[in-house]
């Protein structure tokens, strides 16, 4: 991940150096050499992922690309705050580092996780999820549940018995976006209160509401609440679709959001492109009419 940025981008290295100072770990070494188990700890991974996403974004914006709307899924919302001008890139790293550290502490206190569910009948599946939280409402036929491993296993068994969907455990360390994060949300709210948030310079759609927001105080409140509340990605996609974009760019490691865009009704009339390396940046500008 981000090996090309480490080789060639001093601005990106500066963000990673800051993230390393915040996390108390050499994140460049951890990213490039592992071990992967340590890298996957939220206290290290979250500020690093924000740095990577903002690193590739800068290469796009410096070549003249300007977004009409920005949004991010879960941690990606922190990158979206910087992309829209609500916070500086440096403050985005600080936010991600504090958020990751608080989540890491929760992971050490509860044996929890998350489970994706792909479902043919939404209402039938939702009737079987007692004891866990719908953490991500990702698409009409996909949700992500959050809770203790024991409760997730029980729900998976009920869904299998009723043939109500396919379940897949996610490689995450804790029960994110659930009431288990209530104390982390309270501490984060106190920490983030003095941090300056500005009005977005680009339309910003938020996870907590699925709607665009312009008020800095409301943005700060919603970003805080989402730490222990659901990601309403399906609603975000509904709001985005109403804006009728002709091109969607997924910036950062992975291709999950591109698939979710298609699952939420973006058909072939909308181009969906990925930027997860510098060659991907070049491809954007080789693609007509972006």
Q: Which residues contact 141 (CB under 8 A, 6 or more apart)?
A: 118, 119, 120, 122, 263
Residue with tokens 């989540």: 103
Q: For strand 247-251 and strand 271-275, is the pairing parallel, antiparallel, or unpaired? A: parallel
Q: What is the pLDDT of residues 164-202, one digit of tens each?
A: 999 999 999 999 999 999 999 999 999 999 999 999 999
Per cent of the chain over pLDDT 70 is: 99
CA-based radius of gyration for the chain: 19
Q: What is the pLDDT of residues 58-105, one digit of tens each?
A: 999 999 999 999 999 999 999 999 999 999 999 999 999 999 999 999
CA-to-CA distance for 286 and 290, rounded, in angstroms? Answer: 9
Q: What is the pLDDT of residues 206-239, one digit of tens each?
A: 999 999 999 999 999 999 999 999 999 999 999 9
**Bridge partners, residue 187, by sequence:** none
Dihedral sign (CA 26, 32, 34, 37): positive
- In the chain the domains, ranked by start, together with CATH numbers, are 3-109+177-286 (3.40.366.10), 112-169 (3.30.70.250)
CA-to-CA distance for 145 and 215, rounded, in angstroms? Answer: 30
């Amino acid at each position: 991940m981000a090996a090309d940025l480490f080789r060639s981008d001093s601005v990106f290295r500066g963000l990673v150096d800051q993230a390393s100072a915040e996390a108390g770990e050499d994140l460049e070494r951890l990213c490039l050499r592992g071990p992967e188990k340590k890298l996957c700890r939220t206290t290290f991974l979250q500020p690093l992922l924000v740095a990577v996403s903002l690193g590739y974004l800068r290469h796009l914006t410096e070549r003249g690309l300007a977004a009409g709307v920005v949004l991010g899924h879960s941690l990606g919302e922190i990158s979206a705050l910087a992309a829209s001008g609500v916070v500086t890139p440096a403050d985005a790293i600080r936010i991600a580092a504090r958020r990751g550290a608080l989540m890491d502490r929760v992971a050490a206190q509860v044996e929890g996780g998350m489970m994706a569910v792909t479902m043919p009948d939404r209402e039938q599946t939702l009737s079987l999820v007692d004891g866990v939280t719908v953490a991500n409402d990702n698409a009409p036929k996909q949700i992500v549940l959050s809770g203790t491993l024991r409760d997730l296993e029980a729900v998976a068994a009920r869904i299998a018995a009723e043939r109500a969907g396919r379940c897949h455990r996610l490689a995450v360390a804790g029960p994110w976006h659930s009431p288990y994060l209530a104390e982390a949300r309270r501490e984060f709210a106190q920490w983030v209160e003095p941090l300056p948030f500005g009005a977005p310079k680009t339309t910003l759609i938020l996870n907590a509401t699925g709607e665009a927001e312009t008020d800095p105080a409301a943005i700060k409140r919603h970003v805080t609440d989402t730490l222990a509340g659901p990601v309403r990605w399906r609603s975000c996609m509904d709001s985005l679709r109403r804006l009728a974009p002709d091109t969607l760019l997924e910036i950062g490691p992975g291709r999950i959001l591109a698939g979710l865009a298609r699952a939420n009704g973006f058909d072939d009339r909308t181009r969906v492109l990925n930027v997860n390396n510098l060659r991907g940046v070049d491809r954007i500008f080789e693609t007509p009419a972006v």
